[in-house]
Structure 1
């Protein structure tokens, strides 16, 4: 569920912590790939049976979403917890546990809870449970990482700082109705709001700073989902059983087991029928495709990779970016760097084909994304790249095979890439060689690939050796680009500034943007501006791969998660 719950901040942090792994498993789809789902005819659902789902690593064993940060824990929570809203395949937010109305001034949302929703211990869900959850996240003693998800509520910061004993923006009308007032008018208020209630009657006797290690969070979780935890083994295997009083009706499956399955054993386990669903990489796909009792699902994901360009530095005291470096300010130079890259060949060579060339920084699955034909494609064209360099004044004046800058000075790019897969070094060399081939002297920053955590630290501190650098972002369901590409955004690591871009990004979350058509048009204009200005060099968009046993039916996978509507999953007998 984490992919449907976390805002951009948390998802980015998750991706940063596992980026090397993401990049290795990320891609392989041919460049014309559309989402590939189940090819078998769906049979009428049957009640009963059990399945086994593979986890890539052992879960941390945190069953309360407000405290967990691992994808493995999130996978478990996808079966055991529920959210106020759901996210559609095109990344729109729609009601789930609650519906809502928006006030005329767009600051107050009135949420209406479904009646009769039961916790796993049999008590009824009320708005007190959600209010308590929001208060926990805003409390100064809260030890989890998601305060940002409540900070936008009026009075939450004052409550957090001890200046108030309540959150002004939270008001319960009756057990099934609550009004939430936000500080500002933003279309993303709902998208960023923490949507998961907590069982107040169970948690309230536990000091907030002790909740993280408490029994109901670690050992005997109480959720709202279609399945409940029945057993946890010491090696991380988790057994779930259907919850008979689930508010949408009994799940079709009786039991679900989630356990760590190493890549080498997947083929064997699928072959003998002891595994039903697994996230896989391209190498595993090539092996598993030979099996007759499984199918492979290829889905456009929400991770894109790019090459960042350094325009300045971060002034942390003023919380602003300063664009004081001239190297990449010539747009024709940026265009030349882009045309020099054979992205299709890089996908084939280093990602086993499992990716799509992208010219955007919004997921192609989003309702806000443009059609590929609306972008400048920047198809590989080294001749055009050389022509652009010459037009911009980058000319080889001493016949050494490399251009000098317009003032006649030696021009060189220091390019950084993090360490990880053996293919990363080859990928870095291919980028460096592509730029050398058009006459730009390029060297690897520090002379070698950089340890991953150090690399991220260097980006954040604007290390001068990272003039150009490779990166990836996992966007998830939060489609607001402002935290990444706003002129003063901390995660705008290139420190690129553009007033027109900022204006459009602000309009995209402003009051007029509550009209979907208006918002889509604003982001259309912004995406075209970003594509034309090239503050970064977009590379590819990841493809998620899943292996599914043929006996497991009615699985719906999207760019966020494979665990959609798990109560509808069934097995053939």
Structure 2
């Protein structure tokens, strides 16, 4: 997936780009109790004869590794009865067998997922039941590599849902690509647990008068092959990111650098068109007097210049003639492409040619000093470039890219044959389709020796194995079979809840900068009225849906901001529609829609809102909700939303698409969607230009729904240039409230992050809001399944 604008797809780098949170957030109550009802109920209970209370069914199982050879012990001895005793324990297995007794053993003949149901009966014949799902692996299945079967104290095995296609930092886009790449390639600066930028292998100075960053590189920093990192490597890496042939998605982050846009676009001259020159253009020739404007970098046009205009006005670009111009030097017969924007004519070098490097905004003052001049103040530059751009060694990659082209950055990792960086780990082995092995980089500049309560950790993790396992259930089975050591359970809440009850594992939860949302295609006239969009959002009981889908592991979202970020304003909940079907009715009727209602004013079952259009046609509130196949969470939301919308007079059908097709074709490409449920992994900075700005309507950016608001456009431009967060904060808070009030989205929920590990993991640092693995270089574990005595961090441990 391509980068989400302002690096909304930021992932870990080195010791924690996008640093984490120290504790979980308190869970909200879905409904406050009615005090009068409680008092009345209490009085009634006092007047009645006490009734027999039902028993409570509980059971545990062992061992932790469940396979077809294991004799599984199921223990229900902790079941209880509050006013009597348990008289009977009954077990029902989905393999067709049954058993009785407080403690039993059972063996499964085949691998698979099985349901185990315990029913307890008390001495007054009341019953209670509890069911759990056990994942049984095949005991005869052997791994290809011994180290993937048995984990030592110096190794950590992590299942990943998707094999990386890229590791070079200029080309990574997917989450696991960025995570693994961030362990191999280091960045100039880092971010701490509060998202503040701190020095990495470089410190910095900022000159607001000249808009220049001066980065001071720590002497002695080395790549994993032992070669020292210097300013030349930074200069080369910046060239790769800004090169005209660069195939990745991150150039926008580098565009504020003086000369970067011209270098990227091969621009070597711009001519201001006077009326006389416009007439000359229309006649197909420019006079010699106009050519001096194009003399730059040693490129000189001479004689009369023939102009060929094949372009047509493009409505999507605001009527600019942009695509099919060419200008030919009559002397050299060399053709240049040209773009005209109003009274500006810009010439570009032919494909395959580039302007001289370095560009004027970059300079190596000395081997350890790197100067970067911007054409405007950009608050996000340190974060999105300094703390995100992994530095590549010039001595490894320059010769290959110069010979084969900078477009070969993408998809050529294995062909190049070398993955060398200055991060805490180095790539030792990559078995396509199986696993990637990363070994500790002994040349890494930053020490791993961390003292906790005066004790020294056990030496960190020397080897990391990222094992390709696309299916979430297969990942769980591997954890239970001791084939992996940790498991990211964010994709399946039920996995987290299952492991939480298993004494062999530790489980963790933490707040994330990730939200789900429902949005409309505003190209469709059905959704262009803000009141109608609000009415739809009022129809959703988001808290109840969250409780059912996330089972308490999340919070209702009320806008594009979070309590974890500096633009947070708790009053935004007062702006976002909260559940009220009556409010839906009021807004729809005010907007001219009608519906069949009961005598008490409620909507009749099956009724649909209708409206007569200006041309006399009958409009009905009937539409589709779509989402992506890889998110069962969003699919669950979709089904619940369909039911609640129907009760409020909106008839919705549902569609689930392959994830790539959903984003690349449905939302971004054809814009065939009517409404859709999607999600964003938020950046640590609130700038939302690529999502909300009018000039970022897809295919340029991520404004898929075609939201356009001049006030928001103006505030986004005002906010991005403010380096002072205290001054920027009220601007972004205003933006957020406008977006909510105009129903850019109907925000659904923030999901808590969850993951599990075998016993024996010491997590020195808390996880961060985007990945539990941000601080892997600082982890330590004994690999024996035994508790570590060193105090854990303050990440919320849910056990």
Q: TM-score range by the shorter chain?
A: 0.7 to 0.9
Pick from 588, 602, 608 the counterpart of residue 402 of structure 1. 608
**Alignment equivalent of 2:465, drawn from 250, 257, 260:** 257
1:172 positional shift: 0.9
Equivalent of 1:310 in 493, 504, 521: 521
**Which residue, 216, 221, 237 being the options, matches 1:112?**
216
Match of 2:435 in 1: 237
Structure-1 separation of matches of 2:738 and 2:712: 7
Q: Secondary structure at the match of 2:611?
A: coil
Q: Is the 8 A contact 2:558 2:573 kept in 1?
A: no
Give the RMSD, CA atoms, in angstroms.
Answer: 3.4
The structure that is strand-richer by fraction is: 2
Higher mean Cα deviation, 404-413 or 255-264?
404-413
Give the Cα–Cα distance (whole angstroms) in 1 for the partners of residues 777 and 633 of structure 2: 40
**Which residue, out of 586, 592, 604, partners 1:393?**
592
Displacement, 1:171?
Answer: 0.7
Q: How does 1:122-201 map to 2 (within 5 A)?
A: 122-160=226-264, 161=266, 162=353, 164-166=355-357, 167-193=359-385, 195-201=389-395
Aligned equivalent of 1:21? none
1:7 offset after TM fit, Å? Answer: 6.4
CA deviation profile, 1:285-318 (whole Å, cap 9, x unmatched): 1221122232222222233222212333xxxxxx
In the alignment, the residues of structure 1 paired with residue 434 and residue 176 of structure 2 have an alpha-carbon distance, to the nearest angstrom, of 10
Please list the CA deviations of residues 65-114 of structure 1 after superposition, one character each: whole Å capped at 9, or x if unmatched.
12333333333233322111223334343321222222223632111112
CA distance in 2 between partners of 1:278 and 1:437 (Å): 39
Partners of 1:137 and 1:504 lie apart in 2 by 28
Match of 2:505 among 294, 310, 318: 294
Kindly indicate whether the alpha-carbon contact (under 8 Å) linking 2:681 and 2:770 is maintained by their aligned counterparts in 1.
no
- How far apart, CA to CA, are the structure 2 residues paired with 1:454 and 1:255? 36
In the TM superposition, residue 224 of structure 1 has moved relative to its aligned partner by 1.2
2:609–2:620 Cα contact (<8 Å) kept: yes
Contact 1:61–1:218 (Cα < 8 Å) also in 2: no
The match for 1:228 is: 426
| 2:216 aligned counterpart, secondary structure | strand
State how far apart, in whole Å, the 2-side matches of 1:234 and 1:466 are: 36
Does residue 203 (structure 1) correspond to residue 397 (structure 2)? The answer is yes
Deviates more, 1:543-552 or 1:336-345: 543-552
CA contact (8 A) 2:572 2:737 kept: no
Structure with the greater alpha carbon radius of gyration: 2
Q: 2-side partners of 1:152 and 1:563: how far apart?
A: 31
Where 1:561 maps in the other structure, the secondary structure is coil
Report deviation, 1:181: 1.5
Quick check: 1:226–1:567 contact (8 Å CA) kept in 2? yes
3-state SS, counterpart of residue 714 of structure 2 = helix
Q: Where do 5+ consecutive residues of structure 2 fail to align? A: 12-23, 30-151, 267-352, 450-458, 599-603, 783-787, 789-799
User: Is the alpha carbon distance of 1:295 and 1:148 closer, same or farther for their aligned partners in structure 2, counting shifts above 3 Å?
Assistant: same
Query: Matches of 1:241 and 1:126 in 2, distance apart?
Result: 23
**Greater helix share, 1 or 2?**
1
Structure 1 counterpart of 2:193: 89
Q: TM-score, normalised to structure 2's length? A: 0.60
Distance in 1 between residues matched to 2:633 and 2:779, nearest whole Å: 37
Q: Which sections of structure 1, spanning at least 5 residues, go unmatched?
A: 15-27, 34-47, 313-324
Give the paired residue count.
525
Distance 1:232 1:195, change over 3 A: closer
CA offset digits 1:177-214 (Å, max 9, x no partner): 11111233322233333632111122222234355566
**Which of 773, 780, 790 is residue 563 of structure 1 equivalent to?**
773
Tell me, in whole angstroms, the C-alpha distance in 1 between the residues paired with 2:176 and 2:626: 27
Q: Distance in 2 between matches of 1:231 and 1:426?
A: 39
Query: Contact 2:538–2:577 (CA<8 Å) still a contact in 1?
Result: yes
SS in 2 for 1:488: helix
